[in-house]
Amino acid sequence: METLEISADAREKKNKRDAKRLLRNGKIPGILYGPKMQPVALEFNKREFSSRIAGLEGSHLVRLKSAAATLADKVALVKDMQYHPISGDVIHADLYEVDLTAKIAVHMPLHFVGKAAGVVRGGILQPIIREIEVECLPLDIPAYFDVDVSALDIGDSVHIEDLRMPEGVTAVYESNLALVAVVPPTVEEAPVAAAAPVEGVEAVPAATEPAKETES
């Protein structure tokens, strides 16, 4: 996996007011943490972070560029990003420091490629899971994994055990989950048509009960 370089500076204040001030000034607040370090509050250049990191799919490694010796050249996983509910802009980023020699667990997106044979015959491709958890060394993290569905007929499915993982990557799961299937098309029942009148036969009106006489 490619390691992306991103500029970062340490910041002292960690409250919401400070975070809002940073966002107004073209910065993104963040935090760097890990098993062998105390959490460090960060700030990123919004334009640089948004153009290089925000739009990427899956898990990604970054190498920090910083004037602070405690941050320079640290390698971290972009663990989480928070987005503004209206604009969609990144408003906070969590980075997790990694050891390049130790395996970690990450979530990997699945891309379903090809046109299933069952879809050609009228079936419907139904993705069930769009990402799976894998374990590997940080530099071996796949950006995504292609799942070929072209051989699937109606009623067929691909399970997690069917995947051929890249070398050094292991899928983490407790049961052999189905990832995608081709299901039969939905058939709508046609409405029952009213019986057509037979030629030459008069329709007989439905019998009605005679009105009861009321005593005067």
Residue that finishes a domain, picked among 67, 97, 127: 97
- Does one domain contain both 7 and 93? yes
Decide if 169 contacts 158 (C-beta within 8 A).
Answer: no
Decide if 76 contacts 104 (C-beta within 8 A).
Answer: no
CA angle 2, 76, 60 (to 5 degrees): 40
Residue that finishes a domain, picked among 63, 97, 131: 97
In this structure, the number of other CB atoms found within 10 A of the CB of residue 135 comes to 16
Task: List the domain range (segments joined by +) for residue 138.
Answer: 104-183
Query: Closest by alpha carbon to 59, among 98, 20, 114?
Result: 98
Sequence letter at residue 157: S
pLDDT 10s digits, 90-148: 999 999 999 999 999 999 999 999 999 999 999 999 999 999 999 999 999 998 999 99
Residues of the chain with confidence (pLDDT) below 70:
13, 188-216
Number of structural domains the chain divides into? 2
Per-residue b/e over 2-12, b at no fewer than 16 CB within 10 Å?
eeeebebbebe
Region of 140 on the Ramachandran plot (φ > 0 left; ψ -120 to 50 alpha; else beta): alpha
